[in-house]
Amino acid sequence: MLPAGPARAAAPQPGPNVFVEVMPSTVEPGHLVGLRASCQDNSVGAIVVSDAFGRVAVQPQRGLLHGTAMVKDRVLPGNYRVKLECRGGETASTMVQVVRQMKPSRGPATGFGGGAGGVASGLLLPGGLALTVTGMVVWVAATRRRGAGG
């Protein structure tokens, strides 16, 4: 039998129902992420902390804890720890990957094309309009000549 001594308070350990998730797990700076978490007691809110977005409260909703966070505009690309801090002392963590902003790529250069842009596309509408007006003037003039001559 062990001698009686001072009782130690065991630190709360994460159980299978203590977790935090970030959706999407890969994100660009300045974008929102969804947070879903669970503590031993999901009837009270908790805090999620990350260098990618700071401190965010997650609130009870449908039996879990939910929230959103805005990834800082100036955060550098890399992997950032996301830590859940429950009111009961439990913690859990995951990672979010921040990638540099991706600019949409231009389509392949496949030839002139009507919608390709550039100098030629700026001339298409005015040129087409000028040809249409010229055609109408020629038609009206031809119609009047036939009517006058006949």
Residue 113, pLDDT score: 56
* Inter-CA distances, 101 with 75, 76, 107, 143, Å: 11, 10, 19, 62
| Cβ-contact 45, 92 below 8 angstroms | no
Cα 84 to its chain centre, rounded Å, is: 22
* Inter-CA distances, 69 with 16, 36, 48, 85, Å: 24, 11, 9, 15
63 against 142, higher pLDDT:
63
* pTM of the predicted protein model: 0.59
8 against 21, higher pLDDT:
21
Give the model's confidence band at 126: pLDDT under 50 very low, under 70 low, under 90 confident, else very high. Answer: confident
Residue 51 half-sphere exposure toward CB, CA atoms < 13 A: 10
CA trace torsion 114, 118, 123, 129 (10° rounding): 40
Give the model's confidence band at 18: pLDDT under 50 very low, under 70 low, under 90 confident, else very high. Answer: very high
- Angle (CA) 48-51-54 rounded to 5° is 50
Give the model's confidence band at 134: pLDDT under 50 very low, under 70 low, under 90 confident, else very high. Answer: confident
- Read off the tokens for 106: 């231009």
- Model confidence pLDDT, tens digit, residues 41-91: 999 999 999 999 999 999 999 999 999 999 999 999 999 999 999 999 999
DSSP state of 69: E
To the nearest whole percent, how much of the chain has pLDDT over 70?
71
Return d(Cα 54, Cα 70) in angstroms, integer: 9
